[in-house]
Homo-oligomer: A and B are copies of this chain.
Amino acid sequence: MKYFIKEEQIRFRHTDFAGIVFYPRFLEMLNDLVEDWFDEALDRPFSKIHETNGIPTVDLKVQFKNAARIGEVLTKKLWVKELKNSSVVCGFTFSNQDDKTVLEGEVTLVNVAITEDRKSITSKAFNEEIVQKITNYKL
């Protein structure tokens, strides 16, 4: 029943010739948000899970509403829309300091196991412990 919230400042490396954020950089910021959520809220830091597991993104929908410029600080918000057996659909918004929505969308993440030779990837049910933690962010 709560949002996971982080702030991120727009850096020179994010912006393009038009002086605004190049949109693939927004998705790096989204990946950071998911990474922070797993680390800080779900107790599954990427530094641990990527030895034998992963959380690949399988579906992404984004609407870019307003440009963001260097120096601005964005508020990134994430919540759970739907939790399935081995996947979770999260909603997200990034807004600026004038409280305007910069972008909004939804992303579907799948819990997977990776074989030791990293050749095979298969989906795997979330365990009970993480299900409970994820549920805290269900709106």
Contacts and interface: CB of A to CB of B under 8 A. Distances in A.
Interface of A: 11-13, 15-20, 22-25, 27-28, 31-32, 35, 39, 45-47, 50, 54, 56-65, 67, 69-71, 114, 116, 118, 121
A106 B72 CA distance: 29
Contacts of A67: 56, 121
Contacts of A13: 16, 22, 24, 28, 31-32
A58 B61 CA distance: 11
A17 B21 CA distance: 10
A128 to B, nearest CB: 25
A69 B47 contact: yes
